[in-house]
Structure 1
Amino acid sequence: MNSGLSNHDGEEERNLGPQPIAQLLEALALSHHDLVAASTEQITHKMVAKAAKGRRLSRKVQVKVLNALNAATKQRFALSELFNYSGRP
């Protein structure tokens, strides 16, 4: 049975709009590939693209993207600096 949400409502919930990570990558002159290359975990270009576009990610993927950004920049960012929502469990 349908949970009461139409497909349109479900899309609204998954698409959260551009995230702070997109502006951060631009300001740091980093590409999606730079994060993938710097990562020591399994991370894909698609994961980084979804993160920047605001597609809802799991907490695990958010942390992988965060770790990749920290590795690429040699800085320590917090999840709240990259995303304006909490990831799915």
Structure 2
Amino acid sequence: MEIERNLGAQPLAELLTKFELKAHDLVAASDEQLTHKLISRASKGRRLTDRSKAKVVRAFNLATNQTFETRQLFNY
């Protein structure tokens, strides 16, 4: 059985636009190993590991000063 890797645009992409954020803003806000490429892959719907999704969520929360959960940023 093959796992689908491309899952379409994620809620993260809409929220980045809503908050007027770029991938660089999340990378700059994070104190973890986070790359622009990872943010791009996350927004486009490329399947990420749970650990990578958690890094993106933490960075997004730091950049927006709000509290979002994984299920609010990713629909898989």
TM over 0.5: yes
Using the TM superposition, give the Cα deviation of residue 40 of structure 1 relative to its aligned residue in structure 2, in angstroms.
Answer: 1.1
Residue in 1 aligned with 2:68? 77
List gaps (5 residues or longer) in structure 1: none
Please provide the CA RMSD for this pair: 1.0
Residue in 2 aligned with 1:66? 57
Runs of 4+ in 1 over 3 A off after TM superposition: none
Identity %: 54
Query: How far apart are the structure 1 equivalents of 2:19 and 2:65?
Result: 12
Query: How far apart are the structure 1 equivalents of 2:31 and 2:60?
Result: 11
Residue in 1 aligned with 2:28? 37
1:19 is the counterpart of 2:10? yes
Size of the aligned set, in residue pairs, is: 76
SS in 1 for 2:17: helix
Greater relative contact order (Cα 8 A, min sep 6): structure 1 or 2?
2
Amino acid at match of 2:10: Q
List gaps (5 residues or longer) in structure 2: none
